[in-house]
Structure 1
Amino acid sequence: MKRSKIEQIFKQKLTSIEYLVINDTFKVVEISSGVQNFTEFSSEAILNKDVNEVFPELVGVEYILTEILQGDRQYFDYKGIARLTASNSTLYLDIYIIKDDEIMSNQLLIILEDVTEKMLLEQTLIQRNNELELLFSRLSASNQYIDKIIGSMADALVVTNQAGKIKTINKAAEKLFEYSENDLINQHISTIISDNQDQVKIISEKLISTGESLADIELICKTKTGQPINVAFSCSNIPTEIPGIKDYLYIGRDITDKQKIEQERKRVEKRLFAQYFISRVLSNSVTLKQALPKIFLSICESLSWDIGEFWMPEINNENCYLKCLDIWFKPYLKIPEFIEVSKQTVFQLGEGLPGKVWQTGTPQWSSDLINDRNFVRSQVAANAGIASAFAFPIQYENEILGVMSFFSRQWQECDEHLLQTMLTIGNQIGQFIQRERAELALRFEQEQTEHLLLNILPYKIAQRLKRHPSTIADYFSQVSVMFADIVGFTELSSRVSATELVEILNEIFSEFDQLAEKHNLEKIKTIGDAYMVVAGLPKARPDHAVAIAEMALDMQATIAQYNEETNNSLSIRIGINSGDVVAGVIGTKKFTYDLWGDTVNIASRMESHGLPGKIQITETTYQYLRDRYLLEPRGYIEIKGKGEMLTYFLKGRI
């Protein structure tokens, strides 16, 4: 009558839900027709089995089932369990355990729900969301990078469509033509070119026919006030998002004073070369220490300077100062005094050329070092024949990460354009330093994560899980499993606070962890005041039973020593069994390495049916240990779910 009533209820549910009924000894007494879809057993084989054999996930929660039977707990659920099906695909299920006195008496109803589609959909949505966020982040960073490049260009930049209407200009173009961006956008390029429109048309036709860049096209242009200026343009076409449609790119420089402009052009080329070379150096370097000599060489050789220094802030006893991290000089220079003084000198905020850059965050120039009162090393500079210097900040956003200074033995007039170029280079180096810091921090976090992962999972399992994040299930034919439970802990909990209780448990289990490491065993988990450890996996070992026996005896000694030191009367009950198990990682969140199989269940029974202060082992384990240890027969005892079993007590070493 009960069976039909349950079936009648479940016929109204979805097909993804099945059920089974267990009695007060946790044996399966009733199932629905589709239960075999959630387990490897056939329908006939499930009946009368211990529920832990059908669903190993319930091992260790027997006391919860007892609480539900007794009415002390309403229900228990276990969600997101992953299982491998016969087709080697993953099935996810949720388990709900309840008791309904109106339907059954002294029995529990276990409801199984197939949630595979829901779990897979959730994983897919999370993955797609992460991919979209990454794509948007990269696109945004790319656009910002391009905008920074365009904005930092010293030459005027104008982009038009094929009809000649202006689409984009940069700050240099605004300054050159004295127009604001709003004044020129959507205006024809003839607004700034005095030559007739035929000249613009000829340029457009050449760009279309050749498909290449046109260099040094000199045009007469006009500013907003009508002032004529000579501008040399380099022109090229660039593809747009629409196939077959191209825009025209004009990069121009003022050549009104040709001689002056020619000199400036050469200087610009040198600066651009230095900037380009430094960009290449930074992109091909891993650390700042590796990049600095090449940066010094690039600036000194291309811009005709003789010495380069890099200063970095340091903190010592809350005193912050600049210290010379590296110095470079041309090989033919003989300046040992200057080099030695530079290495030993430190600068406070605002002191000396580097200190002033550090204080203001702006580039500084000194054309006459010998008579510069703010230059601390003026005398050694005079001895070395050094005349001029400049320095610029290495910064990321608003943080000064360092200062670079360069020296020349020739008198050098202040070059504002060079300082602006160096400011850009300083920002590039600052971004590199910040990236290096971030990578170091990331490596540290990865090492911490790796350390944490290895505290949770065995090394081999952790590596496999990182390479292939999926269910792991390995079969091991010969292992020994131990369960240990602290006796007297419940009575102790009534005498001390919860915090003290946890501290005591942590102290004892920490000692057990050291023993597990000493004997090269794999700790599986702790459940309350119970401790589970295994020998013989994930790396097989022939002495697995001996290793677990040594661990058990050492644990007894640890408890005895703890009692002596703390005046407590705790004891430990230990159970050991040997045999085959399946070990691995299941689920998708909060990974744990666990064991399944009859060997595990019997080891748990050895502990729960054992005696305080005793190490109870099975006949199987006895065969491994009988020649090396003192073993006392206990005789046959009734084991729940197994019947009578012959067991022994491990007393000590022979």
Structure 2
Amino acid sequence: MLKLSQNLLALGLTKKLSNANTSRESLLSRATDSKRLVPMENEKLNFSIVENLKEVIFQTDQAGQLTFLNSAWTEITGFTLDESLGKNFLEFIHPDDRLLHWEKFQSLVESHQDQCRYHLRCLTKNGSLGWLEVYACVILIEGNGAIVISGTLNDLSGHKHREQLLIAQQAAINVLAESTSLKEAIPKVLQAICENLEWVRGEFWSAAEQAKTLRCLESWQIPVVPLSEFENATRNITLAPGIGLPGRVWVSGEAIWSADLTKDSSFCRTKIAAAVGLHAAFAIPIIAEDEMLGVMLFFSHSSQQPDTDLLQVMAVIGCQLGQFIKRKQAEEELQRQNLSLQFQLHQAAEYVRSLLPAPLTGALTIEQQFVPSLQLGGDIFDYYWLDANNLVVYLLDVAGHGVRSALLSVSVLNLLRTQSLYNTDFYQPWTVLAELNRVFQINDNGNDYFTIWYGVYNQLNRKLVYACAGHPPGILLSAHPDAAPIIELSTANLPIGILSDSEFDDDSCEIQPGSTLYIFSDGAYEIPHPIDKNWELKTFVKFLADYQNSGNGNLEEVLDYIQSMNNNKALDDDFSLLKVNFA
């Protein structure tokens, strides 16, 4: 350190600390008084104050050589004053920030500005990077007119580090939100962490299904860093659980930090790491639903002590990555299942068709048409005699398409066909709907609900009792003079599964001889129409009535007409149509 009287040329800066309510700029201006130093009355007292400050007081000459530093410099950088004084300030600044610093100092020296403030990264003795807030001003020394630069350095490392951790975490979250596959996401997550937290290489290790060894499946490294030799060595090795950093984390489920790999006997790539200058490393587990999914491993060129804040943030990222992996695994499994299901959709449709009842013959007849869509919807129907005089007929439509909807419809059919519902009078439609609503409830994804039309016809008293839960109405057509030609049979009930506490009502009507009842799903009329754009229910009902009155009424002809109207393309929804002919 230079002599006390020389060092105290810069100590006018310390007067700014004497009044906490006065700004740094105001006090510095007073201390320097038109860029000229005010002599200190008590150099020893001021020197004691300066030495106990938590911020660095510095002074350089015009060339940037450090001529004064207080002890806070050593606390922040690790370099002693003897190691630092006489050297150019640039030597302690990160190479990428040296131009910024030089331009700021030159602007002061050339009197383009009186003072400046900026942030830069500094090099520390242990090899890690620190962040400094630099505040500097020009001072003219009386007598010889020499120019020196004096100012303060505040340690921003903690604040910047926390800021970088949050940025890295958000970057990783964004990657996971935007990625569509593990192959895309994992290298980008490694990159986001390395670039934002200044680690030179990241790896993802995992074990293949049923495998007993770990392999590095993905990696990313700073492009300008020559690590190809390390990369090649990594690709050619496998690790047993418990061996190396990845293996140890895999077994323990806990993060591990190695301050210096070259001195870590448990690390399997020590020689090659030393050759390429890798020192510190840490590894974290990727766990979801208590399942070990992988290990992320990161490397630095400098030796670094364990960083609790970093490990906490990495634990959060690891948790999010684990959830992403599980979600993508589920999606991939679902895709595999869907491919298989698509291949088997025809067989599944045939299975549903095989469960449907045969046309009913006798005094009372029932005709049917069922055409599943390519996606296989959730239509199904059934009819059977409860006893010698009471006939059940129903048609239901599960929301959505695919095997899931079809399986749910089959489940309902089995429950009704075997009369396995509890507390249910199958002669009373409202009790059937109420119990179905208790058993089946909509899930969180808005699936697993269905509409249904359910009726019981007594052929002795010619009474039809029916209930409708969100389903298209049954259409009763009659030519009897005492009956309306078209009657819509419906009740105002919600679909099954929408609300757990829904109440259900039924209704009844007398069936005149020669009447016809049509029961159908919405797939019968929600199709494009060359004139009306899309059929509405009333249009379809009128079509049925006109067709019935024409003397045709054959369901195959009805289906042929609808398919021709759809340009003979596959229907978007299941087509289900029942025709009940009453004697």
Question: TM-score by structure 1 length?
Answer: 0.32
Q: Name the structure with the higher strand share.
A: 1
Higher RCO (C-alpha 8 Å, min separation 6): 2
Give TM-score, length-normalised by structure 2. Answer: 0.35
